[in-house]
Structure 1
């Protein structure tokens, strides 16, 4: 999905995002990549059980004919993106994600929030296309999580720590090395920090 996203955005789309958030193109690309991985991880977590998978599938179906890539910068203030993030990560989870990516990228967390809001409808549109092309809803969680883990070692550590903090997922923390002794910036949910309570599972809700 990462390759598809950057292919659809193209250099012009990345430049538009960079101009909107006031960074260079490499920083904009990194923020998009981290946002994509966080959202995919959140969707994978939601789709782990049948109720969550059905809710996600219903939401994805509503984006079958959407093309968010035609107006990239307009997505920054898009209600659809905020609604998707609220369902996938929760409001507090979205804030945690923005703060963690901000630390990793060295850019303002408010700026990261804009990128998350922009990327969310892109992910939904691409996921809708995959389902039309034969992706099995039953394997959606594993497929998304596998892609998220394949996004690179440094980014993978960040995403694992973020998702562990957002969802209180002990398995995520066990899969990641202990960053506290490596000199890296500690992420939310790192060892020796209080564990947040996991949010309730999202119930089936057609009003995404």
Structure 2
């Protein structure tokens, strides 16, 4: 789970807890519930070429500097984050928040406040990873490969993060964490694994902006 751990390691949980008005353990638990859903929603959208193009544009508008070297929460634009969350989940946003809040240990209000904080952080992380991927592929394909998510695009990047591609994710990648969340929507799905969040969120992911 290197990618997931990398994201977590750069989030100041103590500062986040203070901003949310909860203790650190509760803040970390909420992140562990909200972050997979956010990544899963992005991954589900990226399976569609138009969704991948929309997500790629959003990533390119968020510099990796926010994430690099550790996140300063004062630099996180929660209003921008709220727009990102609604672009990811679309009309299902409220239902996703309610489902996470009702089934997890973090309540709905906490999830609703947390998602807009996490969203810009995730896009900044993806921007850094995307830039690295583009730099690696540049010698082989001089021209940009467009926004369809192929050949190093955002779809491939998220595929790796979700355990569907390289990234050393085999056997313990974020795909294992997201397997239940994603249900049958693409990442090798472990089904709902016994009625977990996969059964509840599977149909809600991927409803975002195209």
TM-score, with normalisation over the residues of structure 1? 0.70
Residues 1:142 and 2:172 aligned together:
no
For residues 149-187 of structure 1, give each alpha carbon's deviation from its aligned partner in whole angstroms, at most 9, with x where no partner exists. 222xxx753x346xx7xxxx59998712232xxxx7996
Shift of the 196–33 alpha-carbon distance from structure 1 to 2, 3 Å rule, reads closer
Q: Partner of 2:81 in structure 1?
A: 81
Partner of 2:209: 202
Structure 1 residues 198 and 46, CA gap change in structure 2 (3 angstroms): closer
Query: Alpha-carbon deviation of 1:144?
Result: 3.4
- Residues 105 and 189 from structure 1, CA distance in 2 versus in 1: closer, same or farther, beyond 3 angstroms? closer
Match of 1:35, SS state, is helix
**Does residue 188 of the first structure (1) align with residue 200 of the second (2)?**
yes
What is the aligned partner in structure 2 of residue 133 from structure 1?
132
Q: Residues 96 and 188 of structure 1 are in contact (CA less than 8 Å); yes or no, is this contact kept in structure 2?
A: no
Q: Which residue of 2 aligns with 1:6?
A: 8
Match of 2:16 in 1: 17
> Residue 51 of structure 1 aligns to a residue in which SS?
helix
- Deviation per CA, 1:2-25: give whole Å up to 9, x if none: 21122212xxx2112222223221
Distance 1:125 1:186 in 2: 26
Contact 2:31 / 2:114 at 8 angstroms: preserved in 1?
yes
Q: 1:103, 1:185 within 8 Å by CA — same for their partners in 2?
A: no
Structure 1 pair 93–175 and aligned structure 2 pair: CA distance change class (3 A): same
Q: Distance in 1 between matches of 2:84 and 2:205?
A: 21
Tell me the distance in 1 between the aligned counterparts of 2:205 and 2:71: 39
Structure 1 unaligned spans of 5+: 204-208
Task: Count the aligned residue pairs.
Answer: 179
Which sections of structure 2, spanning at least 5 residues, go unmatched? 135-151, 164-172
Matched, 1:175 2:174: no
Q: Given the two structures, how large is their TM-score scaled by the length of structure 2?
A: 0.70
Match of 1:56 in 2: 55
Change (3 A) 1:114 1:198: closer
- CA drift at 1:33: 2.1
Q: Give the conservation status (yes or no) of the 8 Å contact 1:44–1:140.
A: no
Equivalent position of 1:206 in the other structure: none
| More helix as a share of residues | 1
